[in-house]
Structure 1
Amino acid sequence: MTVRHRGALAAVAAGVAALTVATVVACGSRPAGNVGATEAADLAGAAPSPPAAGPSVPVTRGELPGGTRTVPPVRLVVPAIGVTATVDAVGINGATGEFEVPPSVDRIGWYRHGPGLEARAGSVVVAGHVDSATQGEGAFFRLRELDRGDTLTATGGDGVRREYRVVAREEYRKTKIPLDRYFARDGKPRLTLITCGGPFDAEARRYRDNIVVTAVPA
């Protein structure tokens, strides 16, 4: 699952390891349409940004509050899709410029250069693999099934469990996803979950789209 720096996501799910055609049949299906897109945009407090040209997108706009101790998510539970996953703090690979999603598909990554769970503004981003040819289904294999009203729990490094409610599920082509919105440090507090989806490009060995789920504090 790749995410470019200043493009730390244009392919947040593009590098989901090598995938087999058999796997595509199982997880390449589309969600039942987008839901909550307007509400997701409103949370960012600004009009949707035009798509970036290529994978380069701003992901470090804004400043984190000085003196604030960032609380990383360390565990995510999503009952509706059977997820209980460990969350690792990840950044950007200096050599490739990509978002370093954990190599084990049963774990997910939190973008440590953005807000933590204590933040009163901005998007807390977690991304995970949908599947792998060698490891099978990933933690976010069923992310596309989430719907408005579903709940999830993120436990922080401070031991506090925080409840969230899903307000939107959207699917974008990787070249059109408004990443500046989803990686923003401003706007209302929200949790953003990202994986890959849509049809699988066998030649490029990657999915065409990204699935984005937005949740707000319950």
Structure 2
Amino acid sequence: MLALGTLLAGTAGVAACRAVPAEDFGRPTVTAPAPAVPRVSIQDGTIPSAAAAEGPTRLTIPALELNATVKAVGVDPDTGDFAVPPSVDQVGWYRFGPGLSATAGSIVVAGHVDSAAEGEGAFFRLGSLEAGDVATLTGPDGRSRTFRVTARERYRKAAIPLQKYFSREGPVRLTLITCGGPFDPRTRHYRDNVVITAEPRT
């Protein structure tokens, strides 16, 4: 999960995972340079305009045989964490950032890698995506937008550059985030975050 305060400070990662030990998940290699992103200012947490914040309802990734429901999520008021949907079969779109109609910024979708109770999550194989693989977001009206993967990166959760990935500025792109790296049986968490960047397909 993601603490809102640490999102802005950039001192913690997104813990979209549950507690199932697994192999070292999500290779740390970068498949292609990520889009250049200018330095961003801290946002005030208000929701963007209705047009920019139109939320997707479905994510499909053919390379993963993934067809997942997307829920609009924000921040858990009790914990301050990114409120990823509890079901591992669903993924969450960060509603405080750009939406399906965005012309700038990072459209963020996060999901669980796995669960002790439910098994593999929607993003279990996210770290296997390669440059050129496609991901499509679809809205409630059936309108869709397709993106092509340009980068696959892995960070320690304390080192992920959250302001880069949650930016409302710069070229529009899709950012997919889950847990990865070694699993710590003591804390029942993965050490890292796996981040996929995808640009609009032209």
Fold match, TM over 0.5?
yes
Q: 1:190 to 1:63 in 2, by over 3 A?
A: farther
Equivalences, count: 198
User: What's the offset of the Cα at 1:62?
Assistant: 8.7
CA-to-aligned-CA distance 1:63-97 (integer Å, 9 cap, x gap)? 77656363101000000011110000001011100
Secondary structure of residue in 2 paired with 1:197: strand
**1:154 counterpart residue number:** 137
**1:124 counterpart residue number:** 107
Please say if 1:210 is aligned against 2:198: no
Please say if 1:31 is aligned against 2:37: no
What is the aligned counterpart of 2:13 among 7, 11, 14? 11
Secondary structure of residue in 2 paired with 1:191: strand
Unaligned runs of 5+ in 1: 50-56
Give the letter aligned to residue 110 of structure 1.
W
Q: Do the aligned residues in 2 keep the contact of 1:62 with 1:184 (CA within 8 Å)?
A: no
Please say if 1:97 is aligned against 2:80: yes
Q: 1:95 to 1:63 in 2, by over 3 A?
A: closer
**1:140 counterpart residue number:** 123
TM-score with structure 2 setting the length: 0.90
Please say if 1:169 is aligned against 2:152: yes
User: What's the offset of the Cα at 1:136?
Assistant: 0.3
Unaligned runs of 5+ in 2: none
Q: Do the aligned residues in 2 keep the contact of 1:71 with 1:158 (CA within 8 Å)?
A: no
The farther-off stretch of 3-12 and 164-173 is 3-12
1:47-126 pair list within 5 angstroms: 58=42, 60=43, 66=49, 68=51, 70-126=53-109
**1:192 counterpart residue number:** 175
